[in-house]
Amino acid sequence: MMTITARYLIAPLLVLSGLAVAASGAGNLGSLRGQMALDQDPAPARIEDPLKDQGIQDRVYIHQPPLIPHQVRDYEVDLKVNQCLSCHGWKNATERNAPRVSPTHYENRDGLTLSDISPRRYFCQQCHVPQTGAGLLVENTFMPVESLR
């Protein structure tokens, strides 16, 4: 059985050897931050203005939320007001020539239809984002599902 003194000597050595192994493999890692130190903040990236009047954009996977084809900066969406519903709610959509909110947004978790937007669907930009002409942040090989090509 190992003595208490030996445990106190071996444990730090194991930790230090593990750190040395981890540090040796860290040289080939890359970061979107580049060489910037972790205690520095990069300049905030500005998201390009949305592509306007592009019409309905094709979706690339089943159940993809539609993109927003207009600016939403300064839109008020909080617990008391949802500015999106002033155009896209069922009451005003036809008059505003805007797509109506999907009927699924009026269902609760149990599938029961509510008389108003479900609380879990109230904050639109959790799923819907403005369409932009921004390029890819990282290269990828994503392809739309076959049925949507």
Domain with 106 in it: what CATH number? 1.10.1130.10
Evaluate if residue 114 carries a pLDDT over 90.
Answer: yes
User: What does pLDDT average to over the chain?
Assistant: 80
Quick check: is 53 in a domain?
Answer: yes
Contact status, residue 98 vs residue 52, Cβ threshold 8 Å:
no
> How do residues 5-55 score in pLDDT, each as one tens digit?
666 667 666 666 665 555 555 566 677 777 888 888 777 666 666 666 666
Would 61 be classed as within a structural domain? yes
Task: Provide the residue range defining the domain that includes 71.
Answer: 49-133
Which residues in 91-120 are b (16+ Cβ under 10 Å) and which e? eeeeeeeeeebeeebbeeeeeeeeeebeee
Percent of all residues in the chain with a pLDDT value above 70, rounded to a whole number = 71
Q: What is the pTM of this model?
A: 0.61
* Domain count for the chain: 1
